[in-house]
């Protein structure tokens, strides 16, 4: 264990381990205070950032925050590290790497950034983000291009897709359908029509999969469906021959937290093979969908690394991306304000975390989206989520989550609304996924200026869509 120290303003600061250094260099957030690993003062935080800036990037290949022998996420990260891809930055320190990224971003050198992904580890990327301001995270994030496809193509420049989330407290088919139609009428759903089922049973999952599949088939919509059941439930649905487009699973950055989710790497590989075998994609074969979120390891009491020391929640979140990228997902999103103020207390912390997660995911090669959301006991309101949404749009975020009127009536939290997505696209000049945009045009939902048109209820397209909501 290497102790690192620096002197700042006559005071010497010591950092007992790599995880201690990373944690204390992290911008303030409630979850790290709760875990007992946050910097004790603003000066100590900058001291840690100063030490971190001089740390060779290659340190993270030799020194771990979570042990190799006891954690399969660490093994996955190190065993699949690509030294050739790492070579262009292998001699840099963390601070020099930040500078290099910003230079590439300013020059628009997207290929240089994209080529790095297999050579970077989550810890390297997390460390770098801790030296960046919000604008740095946006500037580099928008030049880290990751394109994926299934029935629509996601992540292209100038596009912002959305997951249409038509949740219902009892999975009522008509209720779910009404929310789907409302979303489609607002031009949402190009990333996926993805339902969190109220009950995680194979029968319910199959019923919902068939429902969405029928809507997609009826209107010829170039998008994919997903029922966000546990991966074992989706495996059962696959066995029963259900129309599974995507396999969903929540993942986290330690083996212990993944055990808490009831997930192993083998299980994910098995489900992916099952969905791939169905060959349901048209423009691509990316069949996995992952959700993550800062604080998930801490809430499962699985946030400790070497010597039982707590690891900061942002580094652990980046490690979850190390899991996700192994399975070549179509979609990954962080659910940034969902788990509560004990992890991200207010709008400032949520905003920062959303930009960090997007940056880290993209740099590691993931098609990163964000559920821009909050609960009623957090110090967050729609002004905060507006700001994060617009910054994410500027950062080239692949997709956001959208629910009717910002109100998820099943999960009881607030996310973006369908109209928020319209606003982001209009303000930032962004468009839906190309295949979906063509469909909107075919449905007469696209105005000549590219905006989603507000239909009169007696317009033929409105009548055609509303027909699906009649019992």
Partner 1 sequence: MSVVGDDPWAVLRGATRARVALGRAGDALPTSRELEFRRAHAVARDAVHAPLQPEVVRAALPGSEVLEVRSAAAGRAEYLQRPDLGRQLAEGTDLPATGADLGIVIADGLSPRAVHEHAGGLVTALLARLPGWSVAPLVLAHQGRVGLGDAVGAALGVRAVVVLIGERPGLSSADSLGAYLTWDPRPGRVDSERNCVSNVRPPHGLGYDQAAGTIAALLAGACELGASGVALKDEAALPG
Burial code (b: 16+ CB inside 10 Å, e: under 16) for 84-117 equals ebbeebeebbbbebbebbbebbeeeeeebbbebb
Q: Rounded to whole angstroms, how far apart are CA atoms 56 and 49?
A: 13
469 interacts with partner 1 by CB under 8 A? yes
Name the minimum Å distance from CB 461 to partner 1. 12
Burial code (b: 16+ CB inside 10 Å, e: under 16) for 290-303 equals bbbbbbbbbbbebb
Q: Rounded to whole angstroms, how far apart are CA atoms 117 and 305?
A: 24
16 interacts with partner 1 by CB under 8 A? no
Q: Torsion-angle region of residue 262: left (phi > 0), alpha (psi -120 to 50) or beta? A: left
The stretch near partner 1 (CB under 8 A) out of 27-35, 119-127, 137-145, 235-243 is 27-35
Among positions 67, 454, 460, 464, the unique one binding partner 1 when judged by CB under 8 A: 454
Q: 379: which DSSP letter?
A: B
Q: Rounded to whole angstroms, how far apart are CA atoms 14 and 2?
A: 10
Among positions 37, 146, 181, 372, the unique one binding partner 1 when judged by CB under 8 A: 181
89 interacts with partner 1 by CB under 8 A? no
Nearer to partner 1, 333 or 406 (CB): 406
Q: Which residues pair with 56 in a beta bridge?
A: 93
404 interacts with partner 1 by CB under 8 A? yes
153: Cβ contacts below 8 Å, ≥ 6 apart = 147, 283, 284, 433, 434, 435
Name the minimum Å distance from CB 381 to partner 1. 7
Cβ-in-10-Å burial (0-12, 13-18, 19+) of 226 comes to buried
Among positions 71, 136, 182, 371, the unique one binding partner 1 when judged by CB under 8 A: 182
The stretch near partner 1 (CB under 8 A) out of 199-207, 304-312, 341-349, 394-402 is 341-349
Nearer to partner 1, 200 or 342 (CB): 342
151 interacts with partner 1 by CB under 8 A? no
200 interacts with partner 1 by CB under 8 A? no
Site string for partner 1, 405-444 (x = CB under 8 A): xxx-x--x-x--x-x--xx-xx------------------
116 interacts with partner 1 by CB under 8 A? no
448 interacts with partner 1 by CB under 8 A? no
Nearer to partner 1, 12 or 376 (CB): 376
Nearer to partner 1, 168 or 230 (CB): 168
Q: Rounded to whole angstroms, how far apart are CA atoms 292 and 249?
A: 9
Tokens 């000549």 belong to residue: 448
176 interacts with partner 1 by CB under 8 A? yes
Q: Torsion-angle region of residue 459: left (phi > 0), alpha (psi -120 to 50) or beta? A: beta
Name the minimum Å distance from CB 351 to partner 1. 17
157 interacts with partner 1 by CB under 8 A? no
Nearer to partner 1, 38 or 47 (CB): 38
Name the minimum Å distance from CB 402 to partner 1. 12
377 interacts with partner 1 by CB under 8 A? yes
447 interacts with partner 1 by CB under 8 A? no
Nearer to partner 1, 319 or 425 (CB): 425
Name the minimum Å distance from CB 120 to partner 1. 32
The stretch near partner 1 (CB under 8 A) out of 193-201, 289-297, 313-321, 449-457 is 449-457
Site string for partner 1, 384-403 (x = CB under 8 A): -------------------x
Of the CA atoms within 13 Å of residue 131, those in its CB half-sphere come to: 25
The stretch near partner 1 (CB under 8 A) out of 240-248, 324-332, 337-345, 430-438 is 337-345
The stretch near partner 1 (CB under 8 A) out of 79-87, 151-159, 274-282, 459-467 is 459-467
168 interacts with partner 1 by CB under 8 A? yes
Longest dimension (CA), the chain: 74
421: Cβ contacts below 8 Å, ≥ 6 apart = 160, 162, 186, 187, 188, 400, 402
Concatenated DSSP letters of 80-135? T--HHHHGGGTT-BHHHHHHHHHHHHHHT-HHHHHHHGGG--HHHHHHHHHT--HH
446 interacts with partner 1 by CB under 8 A? no
Of the CA atoms within 13 Å of residue 342, those in its CB half-sphere come to: 8
Please report, for residues 79, 329, 405, the alpha-carbon distance to residue 359 in angstroms, rounded to integers and kept in the order given. 23, 17, 28
Nearer to partner 1, 281 or 310 (CB): 310
350: Cβ contacts below 8 Å, ≥ 6 apart = 336, 337, 344, 374, 378, 380, 384, 385, 388
Question: Which chain residues interact with partner 1 by CB under 8 A?
Answer: 30, 33-34, 166-169, 172, 174-179, 181-182, 341-342, 345, 375-378, 381-382, 403-407, 409, 412, 414, 417, 419, 422-423, 425-426, 451, 454, 457-458, 462-463, 466, 469-470
């Amino acid at each position: 264990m290497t102790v690192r120290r620096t002197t700042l303003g006559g005071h010497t600061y010591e950092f007992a381990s790599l995880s201690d250094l990373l944690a204390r260099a992290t911008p303030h957030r409630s979850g790290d205070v709760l875990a007992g690993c946050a910097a004790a003062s603003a000066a100590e935080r900058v001291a840690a950032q100063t030490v971190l800036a001089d740390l060779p990037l290659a340190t993270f290949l030799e020194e771990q925050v979570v042990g190799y022998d006891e954690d399969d996420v660490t093994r996955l990260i190190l065993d699949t590290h690509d030294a050739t891809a790492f070579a262009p930055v292998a001699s840099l320190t963390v601070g020099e790497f930040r500078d290099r990224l910003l230079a590439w971003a300013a020059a628009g050198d997207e290929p240089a950034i994209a080529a790095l992904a297999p050579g970077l580890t989550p810890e390297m990327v997390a460390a770098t983000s801790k030296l960046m301001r919000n604008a740095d995270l946006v500037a580099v994030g928008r030049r880290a291009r990751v394109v994926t496809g299934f029935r629509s193509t996601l992540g292209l420049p100038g596009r912002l897709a959305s997951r249409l989330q038509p949740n219902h407290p009892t999975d009522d088919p008509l209720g779910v359908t009404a929310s789907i139609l409302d979303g489609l009428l607002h031009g949402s759903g190009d990333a996926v029509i993805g339902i969190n089922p109220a009950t995680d049973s194979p029968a319910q999952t199959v019923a919902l999969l068939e429902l969405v599949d029928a809507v997609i088939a009826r209107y010829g919509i170039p998008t994919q469906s997903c029922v966000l059941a546990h991966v074992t439930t989706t495996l059962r649905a696959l066995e029963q021959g259900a129309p599974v487009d995507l396999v969903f699973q929540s993942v986290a950055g330690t083996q212990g937290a993944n055990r808490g989710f009831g997930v192993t790497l083998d299980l994910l590989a098995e489900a992916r093979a099952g969905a791939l075998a169905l060959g349901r994609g048209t423009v691509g074969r990316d069949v996995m969908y992952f959700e993550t979120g800062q604080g998930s390891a801490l809430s499962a009491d699985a946030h400790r690394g070497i010597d039982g020391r707590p690891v900061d929640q942002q580094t652990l979140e980046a490690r979850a991306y190390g899991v996700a990228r192994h399975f070549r997902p179509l979609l990954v999103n962080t659910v940034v304000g969902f788990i509560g103020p004990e992890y991200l207390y207010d709008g400032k912390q949520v905003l920062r975390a959303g930009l960090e997660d997007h940056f880290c995911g993209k740099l590691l090669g993931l098609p990163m989206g964000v559920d821009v959301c909050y609960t009623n006991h957090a110090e967050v309101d729609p002004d905060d989520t507006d700001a994060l949404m617009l910054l994410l749009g500027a950062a080239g975020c692949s997709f956001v989550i959208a629910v009717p009127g910002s109100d998820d009536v099943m999960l009881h939290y607030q996310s973006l609304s369908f109209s928020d997505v319209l606003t982001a696209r209009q303000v930032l000049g962004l468009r839906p996924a190309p295949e979906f945009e063509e469909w909107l045009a075919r449905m007469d939902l696209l105005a000549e200026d590219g905006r989603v048109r507000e239909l009169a209820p007696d317009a033929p397209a409105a009548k055609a869509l509303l027909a699906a909501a009649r019992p």
